Homo-oligomer: A and B are copies of this chain.
Amino acid sequence: MVTIRDVAKESGFSSTTVSIVLNNAPLARYIPAPTKKRIERAAKKLGYRPNLFARSLRSKRSHTVGVMVFDMTDPYCTLILRGIENSLYQSSYLPILTDVHNEGSRFERYLEMLLDRRIEGLIVLANWLFLDINLLADLEKSSIPTAVIGCELKTDSISSVIVDNELGGHVALEHLHSLGHRKIAFIRGPKTLGDSAPRWKGVRSFAQVNNLELDPRLVVDLPESRDPISGFEDGYKLTEELIKRKRPFTALMAFDDLTAFGAIRALTKAGIRVPEQCSVIGFDDVAPSALYTPPLTTVRQPMEVMGNMTVSIIVDGMNAVLEKKTTGAVHRKVAPELVVRESTRGIL
């Protein structure tokens, strides 16, 4: 490997000067152009690449950000990860990706590994959370800018980016209502999930304002689960259950897209055509939704944007750390967007 001393020898200057020139340090102001030229040429000639271990040892910087995903196989992650990756790339940080598999022990182990590597920032991608006080404390005293995506937080040490679930619920019901639907079934999220309550609140507030009656016999709840695929299976079962109740409905609002897929499957199996006989709306707009037959109408979380946003928050945080300033946590709630495709239709 070629070191800075090799460049020094080759160029005829000391390693100090080489360092100053190649890093364009403040002192480089004083160094005459010819000297710079010679050093730069020598560096290029030898193919010099500074040793990041050595550099990091001195500077205490790693230019690395930890990304912890609770479950990679959740389609919700993909676009967010893309957004994170892309923004990080712009800022010349590299991500270490860890997948916690929804296990607390794995979270702790990975967190330790990341801390050992002196990550400068941490992004956690979780739609539910088991972060207990201990872990929060660990992070707080480490003073590493941290942001969570998909989970509302009250702490002022950890930032958060989340979709406006209440607005989303509102928008979804508004869409069905505007199509003329009045008998609407709902598959709500698991009670333990933070998203569930606000989404339902949005639904209720729209219903109230518009004098829409919500039939409690058409409302069911997803059971708690950490497996992303179970939303599909449970959506299927709950829809079967709804059909069995013999309370007619012309539209169904699913907690998320996977649940909607399960619902469509169950409706289709029961001979109920979507959207001719029953409209279905999802939430999230994960990638497969656009490819589904019928293409799914849904409430989109702007996932890529949320990824970008999160990076910008922690980059700001990291810059603040570098300048020894302190910044409080930032909490962003982004507006969802109705995406009308073909799984919903007006009532004849």
Contacts and interface: CB of A to CB of B under 8 A. Distances in A.
Interface in A263-279: 264-265, 268
Contacts of A51: 57
B96 A96 contact: yes
A58 B241 CA distance: 64
A113 B85 CA distance: 14
Given A291-B258, A293-B292, A117 B98 contact: no
A212 interface: no
Q: Which bracket fits the contact residues of A? A: 35 or more
A332 interface: no
Interface in A70-106: 72-73, 75, 78-79, 81-82, 85-86, 89, 94-99, 101, 106
A13 interface: no
Nearest to A288: B288
A96 B98 contact: no
Contact of A264 (B64, B96, B232, B293): B293
A287 B292 CA distance: 13
Contacts of A82: 72-73, 99
A323 interface: no
A154 to B, nearest CB: 28
A116 interface: yes
Contact of A95 (B54, B96, B261, B291): B96
A52 interface: yes
Contacts of A261: 291-293
A117 B72 CA distance: 25
Contact of A293 (B113, B265, B287): B265
A86 B98 CA distance: 9
A298 to B, nearest CB: 14
A94 B73 contact: no
A259 B171 CA distance: 32
A79 B85 contact: no
Interface string A286-310: 0110011111000000000000000
Given A265-B293, A293-B292, A98 B116 contact: no
A278 to B, nearest CB: 13
A113 B94 contact: yes
Given A57-B53, A72-B81, A73-B78, A293 B291 contact: no
Contacts of A81: 72, 97
28 contacts: A51-B57, A52-B116, A53-B53, A53-B56, A53-B62, A54-B57, A57-B57, A64-B96, A67-B97, A72-B81, A72-B85, A73-B78, A73-B79, A73-B287, A75-B75, A75-B288, A81-B97, A89-B98, A94-B114, A94-B117, A96-B97, A97-B97, A232-B291, A261-B291, A261-B293, A265-B295, A288-B288, A288-B292
The 3 closest A-B pairs by CB, nearest first: A288-B288, A97-B97, A53-B57
